[in-house]
Structure formats: structure tokens, C-alpha cells
């Protein structure tokens, strides 16, 4: 790298520090839990997404150890070449059954699931109408797509309807929203979203990473909480929050949609399982 480029980066970093935006990582020397050890001190942890306290669960750790003994450490391959095991298929079927959807495809993370969704399903004749406070993974995923992009104010159904009117001449319309917005804890008005989707012949995609596992009477997420199960077309989520705190993400929906993602979704096709 050139000295000029490194000097530029140093200047940018200094700017972050002076603005109070520089992020330092705290090193945890214990398991993730409600109480953790940082810098030799035990402190209470109020900033993890370990909603059900499963990250240090004895049962999960024992199951993981048994899986390592049976299957080894990793597949060292993408799934369609030589990387799919029975455990992957069982997990996909379990997630589908739990969410009440037809099929599920696993990813390395929900960021990958969202990154590989929009460009795979939609083209330049189509439209994505996205909530202004959606997660960065949805924003980046939408950017990868050639579809027309519309943004509506957070949870504002009047603004969403206005954007749907703007997009009414597009071939397909997909409304994208978080189920629970991670920074503020706002639960999306999914009934309003689904009602407008019906009115304007649009589809609905929900990232439920901050909901599945503990939101809703049976923990099925924001769709259950809002009473719109069966009306949300695509649900993406993570295994790294309420469901244990490790890695992994998924996209669930109609069988044909998931089948197409297996054929064309780049984070799935070009990442090790």
C-alpha cells in the first residue's frame, strides 16, 4: 500500500476518535452469559442478544460436543458439491415446521441470507419497498439487486402506501421490513404491512432475527405476535441470538422460492457450509 493511502486511513481513524465514534472491542474471558468476565472483572452484560440465555446452556454445549464427535469439525465445502449432511436437512425441516412455512435454506449468517435474497429473486422490472430503519444486511442486500428501490418512514403505513402507489407499475413488488427493529425494539406493524400488500398485490419479507425464539405466544416471532402467520411470504432469521448465540442464518418461504435460492443465491453457492 502507498504511504498516501495509509496516511488517508490514519486521518479517517483520527476523525472517528475525535468525533467519539471509534469502536473499541471489549475482550470477554468467559462464556457469554448474563454475567461475564471482562478485563479480569465480573460485570453484568446488558448488551448481548442472548435473549433466552442459551449461549452457555449445558444442554446445547453437550449436544454440540456430541455433534463434533459424530460429524467432525466442518465440511470444508459448499453444500451442492460435497457439503450437505443429514443434520442440515433436519435443521431446515425443523425451522420450516416451527415457522409454518414450506421450506428453508441455511446460510452462514442472516447477513448472508439477506445478502443473497433480493438480487436472486428480483430484477430491474421489479420494486423493493424497504423500511427506513431496516438492518444493514437488508440495505446491502437491496443494493445488490437491480430492482427499483423505494424507502418508507419507519413503521409508517401511510408512507408505505404512497411508495406502493409509486411502484404499482412494476412487475413484482416486495415489501421488506424487520420484525423487531434492533436499535429501538419497535415491533413492526405487520398487520398493516400485510393489508397493504394485499391491496397492492405485493409480497412481504420479514427479517425476524430479533424476534424468533421468544416473541409471540409460541416464540414463532413477529408474524405470530401480530396475528399474520401465513401472510408473510419470506422470513429470514439468525441462529445467533435467541436460538443459542452461535453462527448460522436461514431463509424460509414457499418451496419454489427456496429451490430457486439453492440454484442461484451466491452466498449459499460460494460459501462453505
DSSP 30: S
According to the model, what pLDDT value does residue 85 have?
92
143-167 burial, b at 16+ Cβ within 10 Å, e below that, comes to eebebbbbbbebbeeebbbebbeeb
**What digits encode the pLDDT tens for the residues 17-51?**
999 999 999 999 999 999 999 999 999 999 999 99
**What digits encode the pLDDT tens for the residues 80-89?**
998 899 999 9
According to the model, what pLDDT value does residue 57 have?
95
According to the model, what pLDDT value does residue 222 have?
98
According to the model, what pLDDT value does residue 184 have?
87
Determine contact, residues 112/263, Cβ cutoff 8 Å.
no
According to the model, what pLDDT value does residue 79 have?
92
According to the model, what pLDDT value does residue 234 have?
98
Average pLDDT (106-131) is 97
| Residue 43 grid coordinates | 460485570
| Cell 436437512 belongs to residue | 89
Q: Give the catalytic positions in this structure.
A: 182, 210, 241
**What digits encode the pLDDT tens for the residues 45-74?**
999 999 999 999 999 999 999 999 999 998
C-alpha to C-alpha distance for 42 and 193, rounded to whole angstroms: 44
| Cell 493511502 belongs to residue | 5
With a cut of 90, say whether residue 136 has pLDDT above it. yes
**Cα–Cα nearest to 243, from 64, 71, 36, 100:** 64
Average pLDDT (186-196) is 98
With a cut of 90, say whether residue 249 has pLDDT above it. yes
Say what the pTM is: 0.95
Positive or negative CA dihedral for 236, 201, 222, 128? positive
According to the model, what pLDDT value does residue 273 have?
87
| Mean residue pLDDT across the chain | 96
| Measured distance between the N- and C-terminal CA atoms of the chain, rounded to whole angstroms | 33
C-alpha to C-alpha distance for 213 and 224, rounded to whole angstroms: 11
**What digits encode the pLDDT tens for the residues 211-235?**
999 999 999 999 999 999 999 999 9
Rg (CA), the chain: 20
Determine contact, residues 56/31, Cβ cutoff 8 Å.
yes
| Cell 414450506 belongs to residue | 102
**What digits encode the pLDDT tens for the residues 155-190?**
999 999 999 999 999 999 999 999 999 888 999 999
Cα 67 from chain centroid (whole Å): 25
Amino acid at each position: 500500500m502507498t504511504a498516501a493511502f495509509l496516511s488517508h486511513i490514519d486521518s479517517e481513524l483520527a476523525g472517528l476518535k475525535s468525533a467519539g465514534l471509534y469502536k473499541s472491542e471489549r475482550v470477554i474471558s468467559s462464556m457469554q452469559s448474563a454475567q461475564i468476565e471482562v478485563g479480569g472483572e465480573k460485570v453484568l452484560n446488558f448488551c448481548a442478544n442472548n435473549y433466552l440465555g442459551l449461549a452457555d446452556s449445558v444442554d446445547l454445549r453437550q449436544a454440540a460436543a456430541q455433534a463434533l464427535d459424530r460429524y467432525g469439525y466442518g465440511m470444508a465445502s459448499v453444500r451442492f458439491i460435497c457439503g450437505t449432511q443429514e443434520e442440515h436437512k433436519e435443521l431446515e425441516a425443523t425451522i420450516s415446521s416451527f415457522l409454518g412455512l414450506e421450506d428453508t435454506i441455511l446460510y452462514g449468517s442472516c447477513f448472508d441470507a439477506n445478502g443473497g435474497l433480493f438480487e436472486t429473486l428480483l430484477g430491474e422490472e421489479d420494486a423493493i419497498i424497504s423500511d427506513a430503519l431496516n438492518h444493514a444486511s437488508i440495505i446491502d442486500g437491496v443494493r445488490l439487486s437491480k430492482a427499483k428501490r423505494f424507502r418508507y418512514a419507519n413503521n409508517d403505513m401511510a408512507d408505505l402506501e404512497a411508495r406502493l402507489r409509486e411502484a404499482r407499475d412494476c412487475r413484482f413488488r416486495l415489501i421488506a421490513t424487520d420484525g423487531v427493529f434492533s436499535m429501538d425494539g419497535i415491533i413492526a406493524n405487520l398487520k398493516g404491512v400485510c393489508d397493504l400488500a394485499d391491496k397492492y398485490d405485493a409480497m412481504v419479507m420479514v427479517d425476524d432475527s430479533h424476534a424468533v425464539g421468544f416473541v409471540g405466544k409460541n416464540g414463532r416471532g413477529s408474524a405470530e405476535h401480530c396475528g399474520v402467520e401465513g401472510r408473510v411470504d419470506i422470513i429470514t432469521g439468525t441462529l445467533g441470538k435467541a436460538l443459542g448465540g452461535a453462527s448460522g442464518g436461514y431463509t424460509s418461504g414457499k418451496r419454489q422460492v427456496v429451490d430457486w435460492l439453492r440454484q442461484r443465491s451466491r452466498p449459499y453457492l460460494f460459501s462453505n457450509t
